[in-house]
Amino acid sequence: MFKNKKTSAALSAPYTAWMTIFIIVPLLMIFYYGLTDSQGSLTLANITAIGYGVYFKSLLLALWLSFLCTLICFILAYPLALILARVSKNAGQGLIITIFILPMWMNFLLRTYAWLTLLEGNGIINGILSFLHLPTQHMINTPTAIVFGMVYNFLPFMVLPLYNAISRIDTAVFEAARDLGAGRRQTLFRITLPLSVNGIISGVTMVFIPALTTFAISTLLGGSKVLLIGNVIESTFTQVYDWHLGSGLSIVLMIFIIINMIISNISDARQEAEG
Amino acid sequence: MKKKMSRFSALLMCAACFAFMLSGCGGSGGAQGGAGELRVFNWGEYIDPEVIAEFQEETGIRVVYEEFETNEVMYAKLAQDPSAYDVLCPSDYMISKLIEQDMLQELDASRLTVAHEEIGDSYWKESEGFDPGNKYSVPYCWGTVGILYNKTMVSEPVTSWSVLWDEQYAGSILMQDSVRDAMMIPLVMNGVSMNTLDEAELEKATQMLIEQKPLVQAYVVDQVRDKMIGNEAAIGVIYSGEAIYTQRENPDLVYVIPEEGSNVWIDSWVITNGAKNVDNAYAWIEYMSRPEVALKNFDYITYSTPNEGARALIEDEAIRNSEIAFPDLSRYKLETYVYLGEEGDALYNDYWMRIKSE
């Protein structure tokens, strides 16, 4: 891009510095703390701790809830992405996307607090229910409330990659499918879905990983009654001051993220090979 | 060679950026305005902001004010850089931990005449529990842990912690999301010290809290206040200082110290060993100990002040003699938390994690 390598190096220097200071150094520190004990000698105990009672339990719960969240997001987002890709630009496509992105202009914690007032015992939803003489529901401080909060917060991260992938499919492909006698259902399952696999994978990654590691949503909407692995890691830093254990557990979570990245890389590579 | 050079220059720039950042952090400590600066680390919403402004105006000292939410968070930040702050306001057990780890400096009593004049003897005596000889700390606020309940939702007057296990209040109970305060309750009910390291007793207490968990609406810290004011819960475990504020907002709320006993805590000013502005730190503590300043803070944060001079200045007699703000300590079975040591902390935390993950 630049004629001179020197120029390009100079221009990338701020980025390199940023990466080094805020990404590479902290990562190295996590690995250092995660693989040593308080005496500074090498150990795997902080990582194998994940198999121990509380940690294992909270990891399983976090995996389960973030799986549910990802599934719900996908089910909600896919039809929406299909609609978005089909409506023409002047028929309000921009408006729909804006509406979806709009809440993201607000702070994430603020949005989660909003859910708190919605789901509370004397909250807005129960207020409407009791106004209609319907039995009020106990929603706040349950795993369900946490999944609600996760889906709400992470849904845009599913919609946008899906929409991107689907809108990139050449409409001629759909026309060909119809010409060759494929029904709507067949088109969806044999054409649209396989061709949007990349979008699905990046959507799943972008929802699953933040859902797996969240601790703010579970603290607020779970009333600290539901312990996820993110909460456990947070408390090892803030409550127990055991950075070694906290880093070790973070490394375990990184493994899930890396698995996810490998899958998406493989699918990228495959698509490139095909495309 | 050219490539190597450019890489080197990139590295140099990176180092320069880093150095710039570091100097940005430390360099602002220059003698601005002549009197220099003071880095204060205090609890959130634990001072009248006007007091800080007035202190700056009177002394010319520039105050860099930071807040923390729990003692543990405060410790985590301080342990990272023991010279990051000059003056702190931790609680009793955290002060003994900091003393033990040599992170505080001994105070010169002759430079704290106002504090020794105004702060009541009983509070200095109470402080001996975590700071023998009152060598390191000057009391700022104190209070008890108790039950706040809504008398429109709870029919009989509450006298015992056992109401927190009463099934008719299922889903309307708020517990403190803090290890020590939560474990304190079953320990006190069983007649055991809240500083015990006896594993059999801790196990018993843990089982009680696990049993209680289905009845608990949430484990919260600051939200007890808002939820009780908003009638979201019937019963909550709360600090006495918050109780006065909640009653102002919602007159149906009643605060009691249960008959089994409870925790009495003191938050005190201390000066860190790494303090860079020791003189200013003394000036700050002396200023905070002035009766009119302590009164101003009391009116704003409603946490009990150990400052006898300030208490005498309170105009509203009901508050001056309030059983919540200034309980007669001899009437209740009260105990202070002490530092349990690293292993003790870890032990309590293991039990707490077990309760939370149940």
Cβ <8 Å between B218 and A225:
yes
Burial call A240-270: b when 16+ CB within 10 Å, e when fewer: bbbbbbbbbbbbbbeebeeebeeebeeeeee
Within an 8 Å CB–CB cutoff, is residue B217 touching chain A?
yes
Residue A1 is assigned to a structural domain of this protein:
no
**Is A218 a domain residue?**
yes
**Interchain contact, B9 vs A10, CB within 8 Å:** yes
Mean pLDDT by 10 residues, chain A (275 residues): 76 92 94 92 92 92 96 96 80 80 87 90 90 89 94 93 91 90 90 91 93 93 92 89 92 89 83 71
Q: Is A138 on the interface with B (CB under 8 A)?
A: yes
pLDDT at A218: 93
Helix ranges (DSSP H) in B27-161? 49-59, 71-80, 92-100, 113-118, 121-127
CB contact under 8 A, B231 and A20: no
A vs B: CB pairs below 8 A: 94
Is B356's CB within 8 Å of A224's CB? yes
Contact assignment for B345 to A13 by CB distance below 8 Å = no
Token duo for residue B52: 């800080």
* Residues of chain B below pLDDT 50: 1-33
Rounded Cα gap, residues A116 and A112, in angstroms: 7
Q: Nearest Cα to A30, choosing from A13, A46, A45?
A: A46
The DSSP element (H or E) to which B221 belongs, if any, is: none
Does residue A103 lie within any of the structural domains? Answer: yes
Beta-carbon separation of A239 and B7 below 8 A: no
Question: How distant is the Cα of B91 from the closest Cα of chain A, in angstroms?
Answer: 15
Contact (CB<8Å) B218/A223: yes
Q: Does B218 touch chain A (CB under 8 A)?
A: yes
The pLDDT of residue B21 is: 46
B356·A227 Cβ contact <8 A:
yes
* Partner B, chain A 154-193, Cβ-Cβ below 8 Å: none
Chain A contact for B19 (CB, 8 A cutoff) = no
Pick from A38, A225, A247 the residue to mutate for testing the B interface (most B CBs within 10 Å): A225
Q: Tell me, what DSSP letter sits at residue A192?
A: I
Q: Hey, are the CB atoms on B76 and A224 less than 8 Å from each other? A: no
* CATH of segment(s) B31-142+266-326: 3.40.190.10
Smallest CA–CA distance, residue B218 to chain A, in Å, is: 4
Number of structural domains (chain A) is 1
- Tens of pLDDT, residues B133-168: 999 999 999 999 999 999 999 989 999 999 999 999
Q: Which residue has the tokens 């710039």?
A: B20
Tell me, yes or no, if B155 comes closer than 8 A to chain A by beta carbon. Answer: no
Q: Which amino acid is at B352?
A: W
Q: Does B276 touch chain A (CB under 8 A)?
A: no
| pLDDT given at position B203 | 97
- Identify the CA nearest to A55 among candidates A266, A206, A253: A253
A21 to chain B, any CB pair closer than 8 A? The answer is yes
Q: What pLDDT does residue B4 have?
A: 39
> Is residue A88, in this structure, part of any structural domain at all?
yes
- What element of type H or E holds B217? strand B216-220
Contact B72 A238 (CB under 8 A): yes
pTM, whole model, 2 decimals?
0.83
Paired strand residues for B37: B62
Of A54, A223, A227, the CB nearest to B220: A223
Determine, for residues A57 and B357 on separate chains, whether the beta-carbon distance falls below 8 Å: yes
Measured from the Cβ of residue B244, the count of other Cβ atoms closer than 10 Å reads 19
CATH number, domain with residue A222: 1.10.3720.10
Residue A247 forms part of a structural domain: yes
Cα distance between residue B221 and residue B45, in whole Å: 13
Reading the block at residue A244, the tokens are 């070694």
The whole-number pLDDT of residue A217 equals 94
CA distance B214 to chain A (A): 9
- For chain B, say whether A116 makes contact (Cβ under 8 Å): no
Say yes or no: domain B143-264+334-357 is CATH 3.40.190.10. Answer: yes
Task: Please identify among residues 318-357 of chain B the ones whose CB lies closer than 8 Å to any CB of chain A.
Answer: 345-346, 349-350, 353-354, 356-357
In a domain, A209, yes or no: yes
| Domain spans, chain B | 31-142+266-326, 143-264+334-357
d(CA A193, CA A199): 10
| Residue A19: closest C-alpha in chain B | B14
Residue A89 pLDDT: 66
The per-residue pLDDT for A90 is 65
Q: Residue A71 belongs to what H/E stretch?
A: helix A53-86
Domain residues for the domain of A85 are: 53-274
The whole-angstrom distance between B75's CA and the closest CA on chain A is 8
Nearest-5° angle of CA B99, CA B101, CA B105?
45
Q: CB–CB of B14 and A17 under 8 A?
A: yes
pLDDT score for A95: 84
